[in-house]
Amino acid sequence: MTIDSKKQILQTALKLFLRNSYKEVSLKDIVKAVGLTKGAFYHYYTSKEQLFEEVVRYFYNNAIITNYSSFPKTSLKEFYEHFLAVMQEPDSFEAEEEEEGINLFTFFTEAYKRVPDFLELYIAQQKKEIWAWAEIIEIAKRNREIRTSVKNEELAAIFLSVNDGVFWVNHAIMEKMGKSIEIVKRDWDNIYDLLKTSRK
The confidence score (pLDDT) of residue 168 equals 62
**pLDDT at residue 16, rounded to an integer:** 93
Domain count, the chain: 2
99 and 148 co-located in one domain: yes
* Spatial contact of 108 and 102, defined as CB atoms under 8 Å apart: no
Q: Is the domain of 163 the same as that of 195?
A: yes
What integer is the mean pLDDT of 174-187? 75
Do 118 and 92 belong to one domain? Answer: yes
Residue 176 has what pLDDT?
56
Average pLDDT value for residue range 132-159: 97
DSSP code string of the chain: --HHHHHHHHHHHHHHHHHS-TTT--HHHHHHHHT--HHHHHTT-S-HHHHHHHHHHHIIIIIS----TTS-SS-HHHHHHHHHHHHTSTTTS-HHHHHH---HHHHHHHHHHH-TTHHHHHHHHHHHHHHHHHHHHHHHHHTTSB---S-HHHHHHHHHHHHHHHIIIIIIII--HHHHHHHHHHHHHHHHHHHB-TT-
Average of per-residue pLDDT across 57-86: 89
User: Domain check: are 187 and 129 in the same one?
Assistant: yes
Name beta bridge partners: 187: none
| Least confident piece of the model among 60-69, 121-130, 163-172, 184-193 | 163-172
> Which residue among 43, 59, 75 closes a domain?
59
pLDDT at 177: 55
CATH code for the domain of 2 = 1.10.10.60
Boundaries of domain holding 73: 64-200
8 and 23 in a common domain: yes
**Residue 164 confidence (pLDDT):** 81
Q: Please check whether residues 45 and 92 belong to one and the same domain.
A: no
Read off the CATH number of the domain in which 195 is found: 1.10.357
Residues 114 and 198 in one domain: yes
Closest CA to 71 of 146, 154, 131: 131
Q: Are residues 134 and 191 in the same domain?
A: yes
Position 93 scores a pLDDT of: 47
54 in the same domain as 29 = yes
Mean pLDDT for the chain overall: 85
142 and 174 belong to one structural domain: yes
Are 114 and 21 within one domain? no
Residues 6+ apart with CB under 8 A from 1: 40, 43, 44
State what percent of residues in the chain have pLDDT above 70: 84
